[in-house]
């Protein structure tokens, strides 16, 4: 049974989609072993507790204040996650970029979701950037991608799944965000089902 950790920094709607899919059998045999948040106020913590999933709050700030290297934080968190016998790590709104100190523990088994198509609008504000680019007439649509994280590149890596999301002339930013989130919830589950089904274990 594949055991996954979900890493969050906020609301946790994609985390919820994964937990629901696992519970309902749409991710056959998958167990959400752990949820990690780097923010104490993240609503996703309450979602995990409601589902009976163990939660760890693990902020970066104490390392930064102590002058400790980012690699120490990454290595320590990797050790914690490995203690839960986790095989796959899913970044579902996690707002840190990994160093090799983390990634070496989960080679080809760290998955990220990004609300843009490959090679476009990396970083935290992908939806807003796409919306503004559409308003300037630079693009006709945006999208969602799920990809593996082999290195510290930002929102780059082998693409597992992608889908175009249209932008309508009368869209507000909120309307576009709603449409993108609906695709995220479905595409992330589909991508994980494909990845885990092909995993030799």
Q: On the CB side of 84, how many CA atoms lie within 13 Å of its CA?
A: 23
The per-residue pLDDT for 122 is 93
What CATH number does the domain containing 33 carry?
3.40.50.170
Q: How far apart are CA 114 and CA 84, in angstroms?
A: 26
Is residue 178 in some structural domain? no
Please report which residue ranges of the chain form alpha helices under DSSP H.
13-24, 44-50, 61-65, 70-82, 100-103, 126-135, 173-197
Is residue 66 in some structural domain? yes
* Residue-level pLDDT, tens digit, the chain, 201 residues: 799 999 999 999 999 999 999 999 999 989 999 999 999 999 999 999 999 999 999 999 999 999 999 999 999 999 999 999 999 999 999 999 999 999 999 999 999 999 999 999 998 899 999 999 999 999 999 999 999 999 988 888 999 999 999 999 999 999 999 999 999 999 999 999 999 987 766
Is residue 137 in some structural domain? no
Q: Reduced to 3 states, what is the DSSP secondary structure of residue 98?
A: coil
Is residue 130 in some structural domain? no
Q: How far apart are CA 185 and CA 198, in angstroms?
A: 21
Measured in whole angstroms, the distance separating CA 8 from the mean position of its chain's CA atoms is 7
Is residue 91 in some structural domain? yes
Q: How far apart are CA 43 and CA 39, in angstroms?
A: 9
The per-residue pLDDT for 156 is 86
Is residue 158 in some structural domain? yes
Q: Which residues have a catalytic role annotated?
A: 114
Q: Which residue range forms the structural domain that includes residue 51?
A: 3-118+144-162+183-197
Is residue 192 in some structural domain? yes
Is residue 85 in some structural domain? yes
The per-residue pLDDT for 200 is 60
The per-residue pLDDT for 1 is 74
Domain count, the chain: 1
């Amino acid at each position: 049974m594949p055991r996954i950790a979900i890493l969050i920094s906020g609301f946790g709607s994609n985390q919820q989609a994964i937990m629901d899919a696992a519970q309902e059998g749409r991710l056959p045999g998958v167990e959400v072993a752990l949820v990690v948040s780097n923010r104490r106020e993240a609503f996703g913590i309450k979602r995990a507790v409601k589902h009976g999933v163990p939660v760890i709050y693990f902020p970066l700030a104490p390392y930064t204040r102590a002058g400790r290297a980012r690699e120490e934080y990454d290595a320590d968190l990797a050790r914690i996650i490995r203690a839960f016998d986790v095989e796959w790590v899913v970044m579902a709104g996690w707002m840190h970029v990994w160093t090799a100190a983390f990634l070496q523990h989960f080679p080809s088994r760290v998955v990220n979701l990004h609300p843009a198509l490959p090679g476009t609008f990396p970083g935290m504000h992908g939806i807003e950037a796409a919306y503004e680019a559409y308003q300037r007439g630079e693009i006709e649509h945006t999208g969602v991608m799920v990809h593996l994280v082999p290195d510290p590149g930002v929102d780059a890596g082998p693409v597992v799944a992608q889908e175009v999301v249209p932008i309508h002339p009368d869209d507000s930013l909120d309307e576009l965000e709603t449409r993108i989130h609906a695709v995220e919830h479905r595409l992330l589950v589909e991508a994980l089902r494909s990845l885990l089904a092909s995993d030799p274990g």
